[in-house]
Amino acid sequence: MTFFGRKEIKKPILPPLPNSGSLPELPLLPEERQNAEFPPLPQMNQTKEDLDLGIIKGTISPQVRKIGSASEYQPSFKPEERLEPTYEANPLNKSTTNEPIFVKIDKFHEALDNFNKIKEKILGIEKELKNINEIKNKEDEELKEWENEIQSIKARMDAIDNSLFSKIG
């Protein structure tokens, strides 16, 4: 029993093919099709210029020129023509006329349900943020109270230190 090894796949053994001797013969075509004559193909008018340019007119063969060093190479690019954009700046306002928009009812209801769910979640988030701000304000107030108490304790300690221990030293 192997846990992570490959399982051996048993291939089924196929029975031998029957020895019938030969395959069935194909049916013969009707004689009409065998002896039918087709019209001759039209001849292409080829001139010496057509043969020099290649079989298909309009094909361009690359021009190759030998370059001695890299500094001799100067590419000859034609500047591209810049086309003005043909798209509209605001695709939502394609037409200035107010035409009716047709929407399937089920799609409308689905969108409305999604919109209402989003509104509910936003309201829930606002409530949570309000609670968090209230808790934060309470924490700030308590921290200020603690700081005030520590300052008052320090002031008392200084007063005690000055009154009792300053006379000893």
Query: How many CB atoms lie under 10 A from the CB of residue 53?
Result: 14
Distance CA 139, CA 135 (A): 6
Structural domain harbouring 157: 107-169
- Say if 101 falls within a structural domain: no
Considering just the CA atoms, what is the radius of gyration of the chain in Å? 47
Task: Using the structure block, give the residue that is written with the tokens 């020895």.
Answer: 19
Specify burial of residue 157 (Cβ count, 10 A radius: 0-12, 13-18, 19+). exposed
Give residues with Cβ within 8 angstroms of 53, minimum separation 6. Answer: 59
- Say if 99 falls within a structural domain: no
Q: Which of 2-16, 95-109, 119-133 has the lowest mean pLDDT?
A: 2-16
Res 131: pLDDT = 96
pTM: 0.35
Sign of the alpha-carbon torsion through 45, 51, 55, 58: negative
Tell me the mean pLDDT in the region 67-92: 59
- Say if 132 falls within a structural domain: yes
Distance CA 74, CA 24 (A): 70
Tell me the mean pLDDT in the region 29-53: 65
Tell me the mean pLDDT in the region 139-155: 96
Task: Give the chain's domain count.
Answer: 1
Distance CA 95, CA 86 (A): 15
For residue 148, pLDDT beyond 90: yes
Mapped onto helix, strand or coil, the DSSP state of residue 42 is coil
Reading the block at residue 74, the tokens are: 């100067």
